[in-house]
């Protein structure tokens, strides 16, 4: 009421200011409300609690001989686990980093030199490379070969030849014991 007393006579300007204030505050409150209401819509599409509960995998490695590999599933993706031979480990260690497309030393890619754990998805366009089963071609570098567009990976899962831009990704994992692997 005090405001209207000030602007009562020909207070067109004052009236406009009051109206502007109301408009701006209404729109602001509405915008904040809309933003807050948007969050549940966004979050509903995120992984739900039951999906997150299945987001880790535990594996028993005791049956894998030296030179063998298995494919496990973690978060719907193939995980390559290869128990490398001494010569494969040496081959991986002896590569000069300068020769690599995505330079990374073998020591940075494993926790125990014998065990190589990778997400088995080609970094080119998402195919699953071959070379994990006995009898499959392992590519020119003794690791894996992606039949989709011809990418070759070495015994450390690094890209050596072909269109893929990066090495195989390493999932987060830890050894719970000598023969138990926890991924996730």
Residue 20 or 108: the one with the smaller Cβ distance to another protein is 20
Smallest distance, another protein to C-beta of residue 35, A: 15
Tell me the window of 48-56, 62-70, 99-107, 112-120 that interacts with another protein (CB under 8 A).
48-56
CA distance 57 to 183: 5
The active-site residue out of 149, 169, 172, 184 is: 149
Residue 4 or 87: the one with the smaller Cβ distance to another protein is 4
Smallest distance, another protein to C-beta of residue 180, A: 28
Sole binder of another protein in the list 36, 44, 76, 135 (CB under 8 A): 44
Whether 149 is catalytic is: yes
- How many residues in the shown chain lie near another protein by CB under 8 A? 12
DSSP conformation letters of the chain: -HHHHHTTTT-HHHHHHHHHHHHHHHHHHHHHHHHHHHHHHHHHTS--HHHHHTS-EEEE-TTPPTT-EEEEEETTEEEEEEE--HHHHHHHHTS-GGG-SS---GGGT-SSTTEEEEE---TTTS---B-SSTTS--TTTEEEEETTTTEEEETTS-EEESS--SPPPPPPEEESSSSEEEE-
Smallest distance, another protein to C-beta of residue 47, A: 8
Tell me the window of 37-45, 73-81, 92-100, 144-152 that interacts with another protein (CB under 8 A).
37-45
Sole binder of another protein in the list 2, 9, 12, 49 (CB under 8 A): 49
Sole binder of another protein in the list 9, 10, 50, 99 (CB under 8 A): 50
- Given the DSSP bridges, would you call strands 151-154 and 142-146 parallel, antiparallel or unpaired? antiparallel
Q: Does 40 bind another protein (CB under 8 A)?
A: yes
Q: Which two tokens stand for residue 92?
A: 């991986």
Which residues sit at the interface with another protein, rule CB under 8 A? 23, 26, 40-41, 43-46, 48-51
Q: Active-site positions?
A: 149
């Amino acid at each position: 009421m005090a405001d209207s007393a000030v602007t009562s006579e020909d207070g067109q300007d004052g009236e406009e200011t009051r109206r502007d204030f109301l408009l701006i505050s209404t729109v602001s409150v509405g915008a904040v409300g809309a933003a807050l209401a948007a969050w549940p819509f966004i979050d509903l599409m995120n992984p739900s609690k039951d999906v997150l509960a299945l987001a880790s995998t535990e594996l028993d490695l005791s049956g894998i001989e030296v030179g063998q590999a298995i494919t496990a599933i973690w978060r719907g993706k193939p995980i390559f686990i290869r128990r490398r031979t001494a010569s494969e480990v040496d081959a991986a260690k002896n590569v000069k980093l300068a020769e690599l497309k995505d330079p990374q030393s073998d020591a940075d890619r494993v926790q125990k030199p014998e065990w190589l754990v990778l997400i088995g998805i080609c970094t080119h366009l998402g195919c699953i490379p071959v070379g994990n089963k006995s009898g499959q071609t392992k590519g020119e570098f003794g690791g894996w070969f992606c039949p989709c567009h011809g990418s070759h990976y070495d015994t450390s899962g690094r890209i050596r030849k072909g269109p893929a831009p990066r090495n195989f990704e390493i999932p987060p994992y830890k050894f719970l014991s000598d023969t138990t692997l926890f991924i996730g």
